[in-house]
């Protein structure tokens, strides 16, 4: 979980995909090749039937022909069907595994440094992983198309070596020529995908802000903005379509040219009696069949560009750097200490959080409070100074183990899961009495009223809870996680005064009596009143340390905590 993944260039990502799915992809390519061979034999069979049965009028020959055609089609059907099944399995499995790698990469450790919006990450995790996995399909299709071409060539070589030779030379030239058009198409498609991504990101951003948006009547303007994003996406799409259509036109013409030349030559040979009429029909049929694998190859080339662009975006997320590095040492519980730290709003602050203490940290400045919370949580390094846990600098600690020791519940509440029990559990599952204890400490036990208890179903994100309930559920979750050091930032801003007192008692009772350390970064008097010690940070420095009631005598402190 903690290994830092090596950079994943697109080529390596694609290679890995084929390696992982080699069995199913190979099976698919094999079966599809069988299918192609059968397809190639269909015009041969038609030629044979016309030559041997229709031309001669022999009933027995016709009977054998019918049986032969059915045998051929059974093989053809089976080939396609099994191939498709194995391919679907491979694509579904691979897109799932790519998706999970993206999710794990984003969630593990400190996450990734990226400029992409959540909507874009979503589209990478859903559509790009799918499109990238479809490279497996393209691989199988190209192999089977090549096999089909090979069979057609052999058949033609056996009838007339010069025609066969012409194909061996002509087809690669055609495919290479079409391949050269690829980059033009790719430029258009990647522009299109980017701009579709932006339109989707705009839509999901607006939807997430829908409640506030309606509150200030911004819907009309929001609709107008989406419209303009959608129109620019449309323009890009149409550009890509034109490039694609040109490509289709060119490839159709080249295959048409191939068919004409082969047919004209074969006709001439037949006129000179070098070949029979039946052979002519076979050649003409083969020439028409040839357009299938050639167009198939061309189409694969076309889609290759799109799929590669998707794979590149997936690779970019997988290779994105962490915001700050992680050390290798295992975090141990112990005193959490800030030594003379400098950060925005902090101008040389030292502070110790010993095990067992309930510590209040007070500041009137949001920036200062943010910096302190982040530093204590090890979420960012100080500009100067040092943060240590049990004597080890935090930056040398392995993030995963650090998180088992220090928890800072983010102030913006995000809940996960569909039942209350699921929402509260964050690591090793805790038993119900423990869950209930933490809920009552957070004064949120009444939301299980009505007999449903902890299995109460919550709407997506706990949206059916009030702001105050959500805040308290998050607090209960933090208490249940029971880390040696817990940092709580303004945990009671959305609750009423009476409940706030209950919570203050609850936190104190829940966290003390053990060697658990708790830091409350807050200006709430009821919370501070229960603290063992309060540190007042003013103008970037520690201005006073003591009990809340004693500090109230200082006017600067009183001004911040009394409302």
Partner 1 sequence: MSAQTSVLPVATGRTTLATFWQSLRRHPALGWASVGTSLAASGAAVVVPLLLGRLVDLVVADGTTRSLLLTSAWILGAGFAAAVLTGASRWLVTEWGMRACADLREEVLDHALRMDSARLESAGSGDVASRVTDDVEQVTDSIRLAAGVFTALVTVLVTIAGFAALDWRIAAAFLVVLPVHVFSLRRFTPRAKRLYAAERQAAGVRTQRLLTTFGGMRTVHAYGMAQRQSQRVERASQDAADARLRAVRGFLWFANMMNYAEAIGLTAVLLAGFLLVRAGDSSVGDVTAAALLFHRLFGPLGMLLVSFNDVQSAGAALARLVGVIGVDVPATRSGDAPAGRAAAGVTAKSVSHRYADGPAVLHDVSIEIAAGESLAIVGASGAGKTTLAAILGGVFPATDGAVWLGGRLIGDLSPTDLRRTVGVVTQEVHVFAGTLADDLRLAAPDASEDDLHAALRLVGADGWVAALPAGLATPVGDGEHPVTPGQAQQLALARIALLDPPIVVLDEASAEAGSAGAHQLELASSAVIRGRTAIVVAHRLTQAHACDRVAVMSRGRIVELGRPDDLVAAGGRYAELWAAWRR
Interface of this chain with partner 1, residues 183 to 202, rule: CB under 8 A: 196, 200-202
Q: Is 555 helix (H, G, I), strand (E, B) or coil?
A: helix
User: Which residues from 482-501 bind partner 1, rule CB under 8 A?
Assistant: 489-490, 493-501
Note whether 211 binds partner 1 by CB under 8 A: yes
Look-up: residue for tokens 């220090």? 406
Element (H, E) at 408: strand 406-409
Which of 270, 338, 424, 473 forms a contact with partner 1 (CB under 8 A)?
270
142-154 b/e with 16+ CB inside 10 Å = b?
bbbbbbbbbbbbe
Is the C-alpha dihedral spanning 208, 209, 210, 211 positive or negative?
positive
Assess contact for 487 and 373: CB atoms under 8 A: yes
Report, in Å, the least distance between residue 212 CB and partner 1: 5
Note whether 544 binds partner 1 by CB under 8 A: no
Residue in 523, 511, 508 with CA at minimum distance from that of residue 557: 523
Q: Which is nearer to partner 1, 89 or 339 (CB)?
A: 89
Is the C-alpha dihedral spanning 209, 210, 215, 219 positive or negative?
positive
Other beta carbons within 10 Å of 321: 11
Assess contact for 233 and 195: CB atoms under 8 A: yes
User: Which residues from 303-362 bind partner 1, rule CB under 8 A?
Assistant: none
Note whether 217 binds partner 1 by CB under 8 A: yes
Burial of 559 (0-12, 13-18, 19+ CB in 10 A): exposed
Q: Is 497 helix (H, G, I), strand (E, B) or coil?
A: helix
Return the range that interacts with partner 1 (CB under 8 A); candidates 8-16, 134-142, 518-526, 542-550.
518-526
Q: Which is nearer to partner 1, 165 or 245 (CB)?
A: 245
Other beta carbons within 10 Å of 455: 11
Which of 104, 274, 384, 541 forms a contact with partner 1 (CB under 8 A)?
104
Note whether 33 binds partner 1 by CB under 8 A: no
Report, in Å, the least distance between residue 11 CB and partner 1: 25
Residue in 361, 352, 350, 336 with CA at minimum distance from that of residue 385: 350
403-438 b/e with 16+ CB inside 10 Å = b?
bebbbbbebebebeeeebbebbbbeeebeeeebbbb
Report, in Å, the least distance between residue 339 CB and partner 1: 23
Q: How far is CA 394 from the centre of its chain?
A: 30
Which of 469, 533, 542, 552 forms a contact with partner 1 (CB under 8 A)?
469
User: Which residues from 274-293 bind partner 1, rule CB under 8 A?
Assistant: 277, 280-281, 284-285, 288-289, 292
User: Which residues from 393-432 bind partner 1, rule CB under 8 A?
Assistant: 399-400, 402-404, 407-418, 425-427
Which of 23, 92, 455, 558 forms a contact with partner 1 (CB under 8 A)?
92
Note whether 26 binds partner 1 by CB under 8 A: no
Note whether 245 binds partner 1 by CB under 8 A: yes
Which of 34, 37, 76, 138 forms a contact with partner 1 (CB under 8 A)?
76
Which of 6, 169, 328, 366 forms a contact with partner 1 (CB under 8 A)?
366
Return the range that interacts with partner 1 (CB under 8 A); candidates 167-175, 181-189, 244-252, 386-394.
244-252
Note whether 384 binds partner 1 by CB under 8 A: no
Distance CA 438, CA 507 (A): 9
Report, in Å, the least distance between residue 533 CB and partner 1: 19
Q: Which is nearer to partner 1, 179 or 339 (CB)?
A: 179
Note whether 69 binds partner 1 by CB under 8 A: yes
Q: Which is nearer to partner 1, 366 or 555 (CB)?
A: 366
């Amino acid at each position: 979980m903690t290994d830092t993944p090596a950079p994943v260039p697109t080529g390596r990502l694609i290679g890995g995909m084929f390696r992982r799915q080699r069995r199913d992809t190979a099976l698919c390519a094999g079966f599809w090749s069988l299918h192609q061979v059968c397809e190639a034999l269909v015009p041969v069979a038609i030629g044979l039937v016309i030559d041997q049965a229709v031309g001669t009028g022999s009933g027995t020959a016709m009977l054998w022909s019918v049986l032969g055609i059915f045998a051929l089609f059974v093989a053809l059907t089976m080939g396609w069907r099994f191939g498709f099944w194995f391919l679907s399995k491979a694509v579904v499995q691979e897109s799932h595994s790519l998706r999970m790698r993206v999710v794990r990469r984003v969630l593990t450790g400190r996450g990734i440094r990226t400029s992409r919006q959540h909507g874009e990450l979503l589209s990478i995790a859903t559509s790009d992983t799918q499109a990238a996995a479809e490279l497996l399909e393209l691989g199988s299709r190209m192999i089977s198309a090549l096999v089909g071409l090979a069979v057609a060539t052999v058949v033609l070589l056996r009838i007339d070596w010069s025609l066969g030779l012409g194909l061996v030379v002509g087809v690669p030239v055609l495919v290479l020529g079409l391949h050269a058009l690829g980059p033009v198409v790719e430029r258009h498609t990647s522009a299109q995908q980017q701009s579709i991504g932006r339109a989707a990101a705009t839509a999901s951003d607006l939807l997430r802000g829908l409640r506030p948006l309606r509150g200030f009547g911004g819907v009309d303007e929001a609709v107008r903005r989406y419209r303009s994003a959608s129109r620019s996406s449309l323009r890009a799409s149409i550009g890509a379509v034109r490039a694609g259509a040109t490509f289709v036109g060119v490839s159709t013409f080249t295959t048409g040219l191939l068919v004409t030349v082969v047919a004209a030559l074969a006709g001439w040979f037949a006129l000179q009696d070098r070949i029979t009429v039946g052979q002519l029909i076979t050649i003409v049929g083969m020439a028409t069949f040839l357009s299938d694998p050639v167009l198939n190859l061309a189409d694969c080339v076309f889609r290759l560009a799109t799929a590669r662009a998707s794979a590149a975006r997936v690779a970019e997320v997988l290779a994105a750097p962490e915001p700050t590095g992680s050390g290798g040492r295992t975090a141990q519980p112990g005193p959490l200490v800030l030594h003379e730290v400098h950060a925005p709003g902090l101008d040389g602050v030292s502070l110790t959080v010993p095990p067992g203490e309930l510590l209040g940290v007070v500041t009137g400045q949001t920036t200062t409070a943010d910096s302190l919370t982040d530093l204590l949580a090890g979420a960012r390094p100080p500009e100067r100074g040092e943060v240590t846990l049990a004597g080890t600098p935090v930056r040398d600690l392995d993030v995963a183990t650090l998180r088992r020791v220090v928890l800072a519940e983010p102030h913006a509440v995000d809940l996960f899961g569909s039942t209350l029990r699921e929402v509260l559990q964050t690591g090793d599952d805790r038993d119900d009495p423990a869950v209930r204890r933490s809920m009552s400490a957070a004064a949120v036990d009444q939301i299980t009223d009505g007999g449903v208890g902890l299995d109460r179903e919550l709407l997506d994100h706990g949206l059916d809870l009030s702001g105050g309930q959500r805040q308290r559920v998050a607090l209960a979750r933090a208490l249940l996680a029971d880390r040696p050091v817990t940092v709580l930032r303004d945990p009671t801003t959305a609750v009423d005064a009476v409940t706030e007192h209950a919570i203050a008692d609850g936190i104190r009772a829940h966290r003390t009596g053990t060697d658990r350390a708790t830091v409350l970064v807050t200006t709430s008097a009821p919370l501070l009143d229960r603290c063992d010690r309060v540190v007042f940070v003013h103008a970037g420095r520690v201005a006073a340390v003591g009990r809340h009631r004693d500090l109230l005598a200082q006017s600067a402190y009183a001004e911040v905590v009394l409302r």
